[in-house]
Amino acid sequence: MDSSNTIWIIIRRMRIPFLVIIVTFAISILGLTLIPGMDDQGHPYKMTFFDAFYFVSYMASTIGFGEAPYSFTYPQRMWVSACIYLTVIGWFYGIGSIVALVQDKRLAREIDLARFRNKIAGLREPFTIILGYNNITHRIIDWLNDEGIRVVVVDRDEEKITALELENFIPEVPALTADVTHPETLKMAGIHKRNCQAVVSLFEDDVKNTKIALLCRLLNKRIKLVIKSTTRTQSEHLKNLGVRYIEDPFLFVSNRLYLALTSPSLWLLEMWIFGHILKIREREELPKGHYIICGYGRMGHALERAFKKAQISYSYIDIKSTQYKEEKSSAVFGDAEDYRLLMEAGVKEAAAIIAATKDDLINLTILSTAKKLNPHIYTIGRENTIDDVTIFRSARINRIYILEMILAEFTYLFIARPLAYRFVRLLHTKDEKWGRQIVEKMHEVLGENPMHFEITLDEDHAYALARELKKGRRITLGDLRRSREDRNKTYPILCLLAKWDEKRYEMIPDDSLPLEEGMRLLMASDEESRSDFEYIVNNYYELEYVLTGKG
Amino acid sequence: MNTQKVISGFFFILAMTVNFGFFYGDPANLEYHSAYELFAAIVVNLIATILKLGDKTQLGSVLLATSLVADIQLIASATVWAFAVYVSKNVGLESAVAIISLSGGALIANFVSVLLFIGDTLKSKR
């Protein structure tokens, strides 16, 4: 596809109208120069080409300034009457063609493409290409925009793109209607650009995701790929392609459940990274005892793995939502047979029940039926779409796993908060004892509702500090925790993860850790200390004060 | 026989020959050069330009370029003439030579265009 397609379409369509205009003009002008006229003193004269051109130009365009340079004679007028019809028709034909061209779908499409290309070319900030626009990606766009990461969206469905344009994202999100599995589309979306960081593909269809992953890998090796995969074999394929980040929502849920079952502190830390407060609420404590899984599909299998690993007794009821709806022609769980199923699975004695089918209504009714049979049972529901969160909330379900939300959160973390993402990954290698220590330490220093942020120790983000480190000055992490009002006091601020490069990192580093230029830190603090911290690392005088007490 | 080729070939060559017809003769004396011929050269050249539009090949682009050069030179020639007659009120030696040499430039552009056209025709096997 050429970038000048727009012009070519116009040119091709305007050829005949142009020809008609030229020929009619030429005939009229020639005629006028040949027919003898008469000037104001009665002398015969012939119009020159310039006079004729001037006259025909305003006659054909129906401007009509009158007869020039002198009043016409009758032979001239007869010729002009013929010319009027000839040229005006030619002129209108030309204008009609232009109007038709403006309404042309193909041209409109080309203009859209050209505009999209210009927008991509104008992107100076780092950006992410998101394929497919839906509830999940909507959230991701919101979050990424907050972080100052620009987003480009491509979707095959024109209506979705229109919906996106109506959202009025700030900054603007360039969007294009096109087939996302086409390499040309990806190129247009800027996959080759230096500031393109990542491609996100979270389609329902695993095969489509894999195809996109392959294309992206071939088009740009350096780019981060966020690809959804819901089966193990698919994930294997993706790994072989060299995709570093594979999003399996079921695996996420399974891992999270495993953490919650075996090590609540680590679970709490992970949830805190995603915006939970740093405290386990009473209703969030998972009970000990027997678990029932309803639904034995991809999610059911993933949950089973978690239970097996955690060595917790469980049983499952195999309900397939589509089959269920077909057989009973109802999406409401809870007839006599269903009661019997639940009783057989031991709902009266069970500690918790998980509704994990891919139909939200069935999940809701499973849980309400179980509650009826055993009022003390702990309910866990799978919610498939973000849309109707309120319904699940008001159904008083103890814990909800919203798959789309989890996908959105992980994608955001991976793209915008690489350190926090690494921290979450590392949590899964730790044990409960370690986790409890960390949580206690954080409670002690930071209270129950701290936030987290990342900072790179370079001149862009920590000017003064980076300059000092470059000079070879020894500065430790503990130095930076000192208050800028009184350096003997410390701010409520903690470093969770220090990273030098992909291989070298340290979790919860000690205060004596010497800092190096270019390293990245994941910090936990409250809002106020964060701004103080950023002030200190950027300002020479403040930095000098906290380091030496002078200045 | 390809009708499209006949029509475009006709106009390309006519553009050159009419152009030559105007150009030929004493460059200092406008009496030897007919305004009608200049008019015909401009019209035929414009038509040739339109016919060359829309061809996206390499050769098509060069053909279009030569035609645009010829158009500009011929229109410039006519403009100089009109300016000399109506604004400076006398067509002196300088303007006469300018008019003719401008059309001479257009002639070369037209010549190149015809050469390219013939070369392309010889090259094609059909």
Domain count, chain B: 1
A23–chain B Cβ distance below 8 A for any pair? yes
Domain A5-103, CATH number (from 2.60.120, 2.60.40, 1.10.1760, 1.10.287): 1.10.287
Structural tokens at position B44: 């035929």
* H or E element at residue A314: strand A314-317
pLDDT tens profile B37-49: 999 999 999 999 9
Q: How confident is the model at residue B88 (pLDDT cuts 50, 70, 90)?
A: confident
Secondary structure string (H, E, C) spanning A193-224 = CCCEEEEEECCCCHHHHHHHHHHHHHHCCCCE
Q: How confident is the model at residue B126 (pLDDT cuts 50, 70, 90)?
A: low
Structural tokens at position A217: 């890998």
**Surface of A (372-411) touching B: CB under 8 A:** none
**What pLDDT is recorded for position B125?**
66
Alpha-helical regions (H) of A229-377: 232-241, 249-262, 264-273, 298-310, 321-328, 336-344, 360-373
For residue B41, the chain A residue with the least C-alpha distance is: A26
SS3 A535: helix
Q: Do B35 and A26 touch (CB under 8 A)?
A: no
Say if CB A217 and CB A245 are below 8 A apart. no
Long-range (24+ apart) CB contacts under 8 A made by A260-264 are A260/A286, A261/A286, A261/A306, A261/A307, A261/A310, A261/A312, A262/A310, A262/A432, A263/A430, A263/A431, A263/A432, A263/A435, A264/A432, A264/A435
For residue B52, the chain A residue with the least C-alpha distance is: A15
A124-247 and A250-406: identical CATH topology: yes
Assembly ipTM? 0.90
Residues 6+ apart with CB under 8 A from A92: none
Torsion from C-alpha of A56, A59, A64, A66, nearest 10 degrees? 50
pLDDT in tens, chain A (551 residues): 455 677 888 888 888 999 999 999 999 999 999 999 998 898 999 899 999 999 999 998 888 888 888 899 999 999 999 999 999 899 999 999 989 988 888 888 888 899 999 999 999 988 999 999 988 888 899 989 888 889 999 999 989 999 998 888 888 899 999 998 899 999 999 999 999 999 999 888 888 999 999 999 899 888 888 898 888 888 888 888 888 788 888 888 888 889 888 898 999 999 999 988 888 887 788 888 899 998 888 888 888 888 998 888 888 888 887 787 778 777 778 788 888 888 888 888 889 999 988 888 888 888 888 888 888 899 998 888 776 667 777 888 888 888 888 888 999 998 888 899 999 989 988 888 999 999 999 998 888 889 999 999 988 889 999 998 998 888 888 888 888 888 888 888 889 999 988 888 888 888 888 898 889 999 999 888 889 998 889 988 888 888 888 76
Residues 6+ apart with CB under 8 A from A169: A141, A142, A145, A151
Q: Which residues of A touch B39 (CB under 8 A)?
A: 26, 29-30, 33, 49
Distance from A50 to chain B by nearest Cα, in Å? 6
Q: Residue A65, exposed/middle/buried by CB under 10 A (0-12, 13-18, 19+)?
A: exposed
A49–chain B Cβ distance below 8 A for any pair? yes
Distance from A12 to chain B by nearest Cα, in Å? 5
The minimal CB distance from B50 to the residues A15, A29, A33 is found for A15
Q: Which residues of A touch B38 (CB under 8 A)?
A: 49
Say if CB A152 and CB A190 are below 8 A apart. yes
The closest alpha carbon to A69, from B43, B85, B33, B90, belongs to B85
Domain A124-247 superfamily per CATH: NAD(P)-binding Rossmann-like Domain (3.40.50.720)
| DSSP class of A125 | S
**Surface of A (157-216) touching B: CB under 8 A:** none
The minimal CB distance from A22 to the residues B47, B56, B85 is found for B47
What is the domain partition of chain A in residue ranges?
Answer: 5-103, 124-247, 250-406, 450-548
The minimal CB distance from B53 to the residues A15, A33, A50 is found for A15
Domain A250-406 CATH assignment equals 3.40.50.720:
yes
The minimal CB distance from B47 to the residues A8, A19, A30 is found for A19
The closest alpha carbon to A307, from A321, A335, A330, A288, belongs to A288
Distance from A85 to chain B by nearest Cα, in Å? 20
How many angstroms separate the CA atoms of B114 and B102, rounded? 19
Architecture of A450-548 per CATH?
Answer: 2-Layer Sandwich (3.30)
Q: Which residues of A touch B56 (CB under 8 A)?
A: 2, 8
How many angstroms separate the CA atoms of A523 and A501, rounded? 17
Distance from A273 to chain B by nearest Cα, in Å? 56
Q: Do B50 and A33 touch (CB under 8 A)?
A: no
Residue ranges making up the domain that contains B109: 3-123
